[in-house]
Amino acid sequence: MSTTTGDSKQRISMLKVLNPFHIWALGVGIVLVGEFMGWNFSVAKGGAYGSLIACWVIGLLYTCVAMIDSEVTSTVAAAGGQYTQAKHIIGPLMAFNVGLYLVMAYTMLEAADALVVGDLMKSGAEALGHAGLDTKPFVVLTIAFLAWLNYRGVFTTLTLNFVITFVAFIAILVLFLAVEPANPGAVLKHKELLTDLPYGWIGVVASLQFGMWYYLGIEGTCQAAEEVRSAGRAIPLGTMGGMMTLLVAASLTWYICAGLMPWQYLGQAVTPLYDAGTLVGSTKLQLLLFVATAFAAIASANGCINDASRAWFSLGRDRYMPVFFGAIHPKYRTPYRSIIFLVPIAVSFAFTGLLDQVITFSILSGLLGYTFMSINIVKFRKMWPLGSIHRGYIHPFHPLPAITLLILCSATYFATFLGYGTSLLSILAFYIVASIWFSVRRYKFVKRADQFTMPWPRPKGY
Amino acid sequence: MDLWDVLSQAAWVVSAALLIWIVKDAISVSQQYDEEFLMSSREGDE
Amino acid sequence: MTKHYEPPKQGWFGQIFDSLFVLALVYLSLMLPLLFKAKEAASAAAGAAAEAVKPTWESLQLSPVVQEQWEKLGYDAEKAAALINTKFDYTIDPVWLVITAVVLIGYFVFMLKVSDKEYRQVIAEKFGK
């Protein structure tokens, strides 16, 4: 398929071994940890009902993301996902930024996941009578083990992810049945615990920020595009299926937690579903949720290593970042140097002790990426109108999803401004400085025409 | 020294072993194979 | 056909330097908000010291069911009150709002403009003039 002449030498590539279940496991695996920790910070910002509204509004945002992403990814199937899309549709600087969003969002989320595993070990040790356990060795072990697994091949990595994500999802269902949803007032006390909106409607807008946790990372499915057997089919299927799983899990989680904990507690809880299991008062349930929380965090970190390393690898392959990282392991067929490089970085993020900063950085990087998608799809349809190239999937109602997405993104920026304004500015400063640095210093190492790899005709208007 | 201290120590040791294995493998790959071959993947290749 | 651009090869030292540079930038932007936070925390602590009346379950005026859930979570009135009385401040500073909006929009406009310029070169080299 390559257009370059004169190199008939043997080429290396990643293995095409994944099926739609792996894609589901990659997408849901990254996100499901959000139901076990993090979503509940939206309760602090806007109350329990505020959080529920945020859950639905952000659900709409992600439905737009999934629709748009499915169309572009089923057409541009390459590791690097949205990065490769940006490179073909908007241009190099945008692509560089999108690549950074991906690497940052996933590596920071990975660090937060590893911290959750560490904290969970600590509270487990406390429950068994050993106070003050040092969490560091368990944080490092989580990252080291998952990096090792990722290094050794994508098939085992994502098969494991499928199993543990499935267990974590089932645990939410079991907990839901255990709180006797058909018998309100027995275990669940919604009537007494649910209050009016504590901050009014501005609080609801503010809670959109952490409402992102309900779904953050689902779009990472398209990083696997070079490793699935049939990208045009598996990626839309796995992503949409994942989105449905998450909508169910998010609603159940909200319903359980809002009926068990006062919102002021819920808004700052570290592991809300585990606390819910504890409140029901059964040791078995408590144990199940302990395991499920750990599994969810591990699955998420695992998927994050997978996605972040593919994005970093793609940046290296195109020389946006040092070309050294563009190597593939001859035996395991993984972007092994990128995997190694990101290990100490994830560990150092975890050890900064700035969990809320790290989480905000992760969310905002995701949000910047969604803003890009809304611009991207409009340009995509203009430059290659329907019928001019083969699209694996065409999303309906264009440009309505793109406009909705842009409006919801703006609302979420405003939500972040409320309460986390300095973080927002400092993260923007990072991307601005990085962009200038890329234009001035890095771009000279990039081959021009080689960046465009799709077998498409010349875009309209260029 | 109780069970949890032993577990913490074990976690350090296992992490170190895994990371050392990865780095050693990466170095040996670089020595065995031609750098150009390792970099030869192309975006969107079928 | 436009002139084919042949990029320079980057040496080892440059590759390592560039990787580290991006990392340094990330850490810097993670640390930056801490400077502001330290100031806020100091003023918040001063405010908290002013209202140092010991709270009780009665003074919090919770319904019995809510109080029971707090107790199940292992909270006494004092600890619960600390959480109940922590509130976000959503007063909007219009100056900062405008600054943030300008930076955000400016960032995207800048990025789209530069990308477009670079993209035209890519297309010109790939498909010819």
Tell whether C46 and C65 lie within a shared domain: no
Say if residue B21 is exposed, middle or buried (CB neighbours under 10 Å; 0-12, 13-18, 19+): middle
pLDDT tens digits, one per residue of C72-103: 888 988 889 988 888 888 889 999 999 999 99
Which residues are bridge partners to A228 per DSSP? A18
The reply to whether residue A264 touches residue C84, judged by beta carbons under 8 angstroms, is yes
The pLDDT of residue C1 is 47
- Per-residue tokens: A35: 């139901």
- DSSP structural state of residue A10: -
Domain that holds residue C36: 10-51
The pLDDT of residue A435 is 96
How near does any CA of chain A get to the CA of C55, in Å? 16
Tell whether C118 and C98 lie within a shared domain: yes
The helix/strand count (H/E) of chain B reads as 2, 0
Using an 8 Å CB-CB cutoff, list chain A residues near C30: 349, 352, 354, 357-358, 361
Q: Which amino acid is at A77?
A: A
Tell me the DSSP string of A294-360: HHHHHHHHHHHHHHHHHHHHHHHHTTSS-GGGG---TTT-S-HHHHHHHHHHHHHHHHT--HHHHHH
Which residues are bridge partners to A139 per DSSP? none
pLDDT tens digits, one per residue of A260-273: 999 999 999 888 99
Domain presence at residue A4: no
For each of chain A's 462 residues, which pLDDT tens digit applies? 333 333 446 788 888 999 989 999 999 999 999 999 889 999 999 999 999 999 999 999 998 998 898 889 888 878 888 999 999 999 999 999 999 999 999 999 999 999 999 989 988 888 888 888 999 999 999 999 999 999 999 999 999 999 999 999 999 999 999 999 998 888 999 999 999 999 999 999 999 999 999 999 888 888 888 888 887 788 888 888 898 899 999 999 999 999 999 999 999 988 899 999 989 988 999 999 999 999 999 999 999 999 999 999 999 999 999 999 999 999 999 999 999 999 999 999 999 877 778 888 999 999 999 999 999 999 999 999 999 999 888 899 999 999 999 999 999 999 999 988 989 999 999 999 999 999 999 999 999 999 999 999 999 998
Distance CA A383, CA A392 (A): 17
The reply to whether residue C88 touches residue A449, judged by beta carbons under 8 angstroms, is no
Which A positions 319-338 lie with beta carbon below 8 A of chain C?
319, 321-324
Q: Is A120 helix (H, G, I), strand (E, B) or coil?
A: helix
Q: Is B20 helix (H, G, I), strand (E, B) or coil?
A: helix
- Per-residue tokens: A122: 């600590």
Structural domain total, chain B = 1
Structural domain total, chain A = 1
Of the candidates A59, A223, A105, A241, the residue with the CA atom closest to the CA atom of residue A165: A241
CATH code at position A202:
1.20.1740.10
Domain presence at residue C26: yes
Q: Would an 8 Å CB–CB cutoff place B8 in contact with chain A?
A: yes
- Per-residue tokens: B45: 């290749």
Domain that holds residue B14: 3-38
Q: What are phi and psi of A57, to 5 degrees?
A: -65, -45
Proportion of chain C above pLDDT 90, given as a percent: 34
Domain presence at residue C58: yes
Minimal-distance CA residue of chain C relative to A98: C111
Mutate to test the interface with A, among B8, B21, B41 (most CBs of A within 10 A): B41
Domain presence at residue A12: no
CB under 8 Å, gap of 24 or more: what pairs does A85-90 form?
Answer: A85/A376, A85/A380, A86/A372, A86/A376, A87/A318, A87/A451, A87/A452, A88/A452, A88/A453, A88/A454, A88/A456, A89/A376, A89/A379, A89/A380, A89/A383, A90/A372, A90/A375, A90/A376, A90/A379, A90/C112, A90/C115, A90/C116, A90/C119
Domain presence at residue B45: no
Structural domain total, chain C = 3
Domain that holds residue A225: 20-451
Tell me the DSSP string of A127-190: HTT--S---HHHHHHHHHHHHHHHHT-HHHHHHHHHHHHHHHHHHHHHHHHHT-TTSTTTS--H
Using an 8 Å CB-CB cutoff, list chain A residues near C108: 371, 375
Distance CA C16, CA B6 (A): 38
Distance CA A161, CA A221 (A): 13
Using an 8 Å CB-CB cutoff, list chain B residues near A2: 42, 45
Which residues are bridge partners to A18 per DSSP? A228
Using an 8 Å CB-CB cutoff, list chain A residues near C32: 422, 426, 429
Domain presence at residue B8: yes
The pLDDT of residue C2 is 56
**Cα A455 from chain centroid (whole Å):** 29
Domain presence at residue C95: yes
Domain presence at residue A90: yes
Q: Would an 8 Å CB–CB cutoff place A451 in contact with chain C?
A: yes
Domain presence at residue A264: yes
The pLDDT of residue A8 is 47
pLDDT tens digits, one per residue of B11-41: 999 999 999 999 999 999 999 999 999 998 8
The pLDDT of residue A77 is 77
